[in-house]
Structure 1
Amino acid sequence: MSRQRLIAFLAALAAVVGLVILVPMASTASAAGCAGAWSPSSVYTGGMTASYNSHNWLAKWWTQGETPGAAEVWSDQGACTGGSGGTGGTTGGGGTGCSYPAWVAGRSYVTGDIVQYTNGLDYIATHDNPGYDPTISTWYWSPYTCSGSGGTTGGGTNPPAGGFVVSEAQFNQMFPGRNSFYTYGGLTAALGSYPGFATTGSDTVKKQEAAAFLANVSHETGGLVYIVEQNTANYSHYCDYSQPYGCPAGQSAYYGRGPIQLSWNFNYKAAGDSLGIDLLDNPNLVQTDPAVAWKTGLWYWNTQSGPGTMTPHNAMVNGAGFGETIRSINGSIECNGGNPAEVQDRVNAYLNFTSILGVPAGNNLSC
């Protein structure tokens, strides 16, 4: 019997027996709007949403690269329309999944705040400032690329990490006793200075590089506990007066500071020139500004070969292995039998961190 004839029959029956028949009507409810498109390269934490194949999905816990609908981490929130609703893809500059507040001149901002400037591009505050122009005051602002994750959409002290492969929860797990100076926000604010870091190669390689950097940092700082070099007797040794610029901050001013323990006047000069910060005259910035401290660590990691033959970044992305990063940092002081206990301490940290990130450690762990 057709639906029309069934309805007519029920109506006639109702008239005979005095019943009220409620005839089901076709649903007129519309699907929800689509969240930002899921991106396999983006990091999602519990409670964040993304759209995939015209459905919205809710992340139950931290995830990256696990496809909605094919992984238990995602909870289907139902069909969606409009917006992206597609099959993923990262967007930038205030695009899908990212809607940062407009920059306002004269409004106070804190490190980590993200704004959209009048040119349509996004910027992240690398230092607290009273509303300086992001395109002029580059000391206080850095360009920021949206992760497209559809998560947090405003500024604050804990913004999205721009797709960083280490979540804040994992960072805290790696460094349970860290000094409060070494903030996760300071680290993620520094990432924009070296966009190739932990974003090159496969997802496994990206996580291996992040783990390698943080393992070496852990060794240099006693688990992110020490901000400055503890052996004060060495402080006066780090001034190379053969350099034409000398040591304007004083002979004892260039001791080890920060996550990679930046030392020597020529390294402060080179790092400062690269980062656009006068560290030769202001070395204390490395021990007072978390973002500057992290930037100096990333500067060495991404640009310096040290006593090795390649940068630690290249060692990890080109398959030379974790051992080569040790060589680039301390060379024969530790490698080639120089101090096997120190090497093993670094390797142990790396194995721990790769385990936390869920990736294999790879080959060539020692030097």
Structure 2
Amino acid sequence: MDNSRSARLRRVLVAAVAAVLGAFILIPGAAAAAGTGAITGYGGKCVDVSGANTANGTKVQLWTCNGTNAQSWTVGTDGTIRALGKCLDVSAGSTADGAKVQLWDCNGTGAQQWVANAARDIVNPQANKCLDATGPSSADGTPLQIWTCSGGANQKWTVPGGGGGGTTGFVVSEAQFNQMFPSRNSFYTYAGLTDAMKKYPAFATTGSDTVKRQEAAAFLANVSHETGGLVYINEINTANYPHYCDYSQPYGCPAGQAAYYGRGPIQLSWNFNYKAAGDALGVDLLNNPNLVATNSSISWQTGLWYWMTGTGGAGTTSHNAMVNGQGFGTTIRAINSIECNGGNPAQMQSRVNLYNQFVGILGVPAGGNLTC
């Protein structure tokens, strides 16, 4: 692990953090529940294509169930949800609350990817938001939109095939996880990781099966490097502990000057990162930073929080780097850019070696752009 103060400085987040999602168990790609039929939701109404119109941009709405083709949806093995030969689509690929949902020609974009899960949410991973009945209202003609997942009844759906089977759906099995981390600290549990994934439904569920596994391998390779194979919970170099308090922040360091050292799978450090992570996850980490070292799920959540939202020196998140084909090397730049461009080639290569090992376990190619 690189425990230098300069390395931690590069972990300042510059983007707004996504709102916390309601708890649910993921089923990847909606494909686990593939089938054709009605999708029912709020007020017992059906998801309906307005007027059975097949024009691009046609409103998708709630309507009294009537058994017509306008209410017959196919949950595809490719993560799409289709009716009348077209795809359920988020208008303009928006990720904003209130973006309308419509019918559109199928085009393979993230605006048309959906994940149905055991908690009966239908999530658009690109936006990290849930299919939502506007209002909330169950009146005929109520338009559907995406909205921050809240667990509300207007975001609960029953899809053809059942929409979930009570498994984690993670592309890494527990046996594979144990193979990757044979000497791991018992604190870093598989159950803690899969529970943490409830906060970020786009993680390892976006794109093809190969991309999903590559992303999982990339995340686990980076955290393995940061923690010595999931052995270390707390930063090793205790001399660094007092360095991670930025008193220029208005909230200061209420847990103490030496309280914000690296903890957890991504070695979260600095008071401003504990504050930002805590705000995103709904946990007061600023006042209780040691939760990252004592609660396995929260610890994993901080790792996924940075993976999904932190850009570092890459200009993009690690998640986006993997799903958009920029390669593993870009994740290194997002997590610790000082290892790149010859800054610390041995540390960079350590991450690459772990990634190659983990994609081998998962049976997928590594892809290109492995170094930075």
Q: Give the Å deviation of 1:192.
A: 1.0
* Distance in 2 separating the partners of 1:364 and 1:316: 10
Report what 2:206 is aligned to: 200
Letter in 1 for 2:257: Q
Q: 2:232 aligns with which of 207, 226, 229?
A: 226
Report what 1:288 is aligned to: 294
Report what 2:320 is aligned to: 314
Report what 1:210 is aligned to: 216
Contact 1:309 1:328 in 2 (8 A): yes
Unpaired runs of at least 5, structure 1: 1-38, 45-49, 53-85, 96-133, 137-142, 154-159
1:349 aligns with 2:357: no
* Distance in 2 separating the partners of 1:261 and 1:214: 13
Q: 2:308 aligns with which of 302, 317, 329?
A: 302
* Compared CA separation, residues 92 and 318, structure 1 to 2 (3 A): closer
Per-residue CA distance 1:259-308 (angstroms, 9 max, x = gap): 00000000000000011110000000000000000000000000010122
* Compared CA separation, residues 358 and 271, structure 1 to 2 (3 A): same
Letter in 1 for 2:365: P
Contact 1:43 1:164 in 2 (8 A): no
* Distance in 2 separating the partners of 1:94 and 1:292: 20
Report what 1:338 is aligned to: 343
Q: Give the Å deviation of 1:92.
A: 3.9
Contact 2:242 2:257 in 1 (8 A): yes
1:179 aligns with 2:185: yes
* Distance in 1 separating the partners of 2:297 and 2:164: 25
Q: Secondary structure at the match of 1:200?
A: coil
Contact 1:91 1:148 in 2 (8 A): no
* Compared CA separation, residues 352 and 148, structure 1 to 2 (3 A): farther
1:364 aligns with 2:369: yes
* Distance in 2 separating the partners of 1:91 and 1:174: 28
* Compared CA separation, residues 329 and 277, structure 1 to 2 (3 A): same
Q: Give the Å deviation of 1:94.
A: 6.5
* Compared CA separation, residues 88 and 184, structure 1 to 2 (3 A): same
Q: How many residues align?
A: 239
* Distance in 1 separating the partners of 2:231 and 2:366: 25
TM-score, normalised relative to structure 1: 0.60
**Segments of 4+ moved more than 3 angstroms:** 39-44, 86-95, 145-151
Report what 2:175 is aligned to: 169
Letter in 2 for 1:352: Q
Letter in 1 for 2:214: Q
Letter in 2 for 1:195: P
Report what 1:254 is aligned to: 260
Q: Give the Å deviation of 1:221.
A: 0.1
Contact 2:234 2:293 in 1 (8 A): yes
* Compared CA separation, residues 150 and 240, structure 1 to 2 (3 A): closer
Q: Give the Å deviation of 1:320.
A: 0.7
Report what 1:325 is aligned to: 331
Unpaired runs of at least 5, structure 2: 1-26, 36-73, 78-114, 121-149
Q: Which has the higher contact order (CA 8 A, sep 6+)?
A: 2
* Compared CA separation, residues 226 and 40, structure 1 to 2 (3 A): closer
* Compared CA separation, residues 148 and 238, structure 1 to 2 (3 A): farther
Contact 2:215 2:323 in 1 (8 A): yes
* Compared CA separation, residues 149 and 179, structure 1 to 2 (3 A): farther
Contact 1:43 1:149 in 2 (8 A): no
Contact 1:239 1:254 in 2 (8 A): yes
Contact 1:177 1:223 in 2 (8 A): yes
Per-residue CA distance 1:310-366 (angstroms, 9 max, x = gap): 1111111111100000001111x2100001000110000000000000100000000
Q: 2:197 aligns with which of 185, 191, 206?
A: 191
1:274 aligns with 2:270: no
Contact 2:313 2:334 in 1 (8 A): yes
Q: Secondary structure at the match of 2:352?
A: helix
* Distance in 2 separating the partners of 1:93 and 1:187: 17
Q: State the identity as a percent.
A: 70
* Compared CA separation, residues 236 and 320, structure 1 to 2 (3 A): same
TM-score, normalised relative to structure 2: 0.59
Contact 1:269 1:280 in 2 (8 A): yes
Question: Of the two, which has the highest radius of gyration?
Answer: 1
* Distance in 1 separating the partners of 2:250 and 2:370: 39
* Compared CA separation, residues 323 and 87, structure 1 to 2 (3 A): closer
Letter in 1 for 2:359: T
